[in-house]
Amino acid sequence: MSLRLGDIAPDFTAETTQGTVNFHEWIGNSWAILFSHPKDYTPVCTTELGAVAKIKGEFDKRNTKVIAVSVDPLSDHNGWINDINETQNTNVNFPLIADPDRKVAILYDMIHPNASENVTVRSVFIIGPDKKVKLILTYPASTGRNFDEIIRVLDSLQLTANYSVATPANWRDGQDCIIVPAVKDEDIPAKFPKGVTRIKPYLRYTPQPNK
């Protein structure tokens, strides 16, 4: 059965480039991003891992751990990381799971037979401290991910987890939010002291509560 939003992220133990990881224990009280790669020593994946290494500080600021996975063995990962560091002018600073038996790939439904019978598609899972899946994205192997968008979604998820708001189309951290319909008008002054802009009875904007 495929994973759905709100499901508990499957736990697993795996070898990584930074030692053995027990996934739920590794997440701890943090948020986590698990993202898969079709194969080591491939061009698009090389740019992606380099991109994540360069912005890892942004994830750290958001109490978020990042971990990658591909179906290749640890020996391949270690050699590939050298190539990534060299070609992307960075230092891979997060673990890469070795999944040669495809255990993690199967748990997270990362192998799509229509795309390939033995390698993973580009999947992204954002997992909360409660170990529940908050976001699932799947890209084809030919398209590199936009990690600025993944950070944008992470900001939205962390905001909406703590306040009765949703984020509108193209929202960025610091912009106005939408008050969720469950909040009654009479409760707005107490919940949102920064004020409200009413466009329609169901469309009410407020400045971002945590800024």
Domain boundary (144, 177, 193) is at 144
Overall pTM > 0.85: yes
Chain segment 65-83, per-residue pLDDT in tens: 999 998 899 999 999 999 9
Q: Number of folded domains in the chain?
A: 2
Q: How confident is the model at residue 114, as a pLDDT?
A: 52
CA atoms within 13 A on the CB side of 194: 13
With cut-offs at 50, 70 and 90, classify the pLDDT of residue 3: confident
Asked if residue 149 is part of any domain, the answer here is no
Residues with catalytic roles: 45
Asked if residue 8 is part of any domain, the answer here is no
Q: How confident is the model at residue 121, as a pLDDT?
A: 65
Chain segment 105-146, per-residue pLDDT in tens: 889 988 755 545 555 568 999 999 999 999 999 888 889 999
| 3-class SS of residue 112 | coil
Q: What is the mean pLDDT of residues 183-199?
A: 95
User: C-alpha distances in angstroms, 168 versus 6, 26, 89, 196?
Assistant: 21, 32, 36, 15
Asked if residue 5 is part of any domain, the answer here is no
Asked if residue 155 is part of any domain, the answer here is no
Domain extent, residue 179, equals: 163-206
Q: Is the pLDDT of residue 150 over 60?
A: yes
Asked if residue 4 is part of any domain, the answer here is no
Q: How confident is the model at residue 112, as a pLDDT?
A: 56
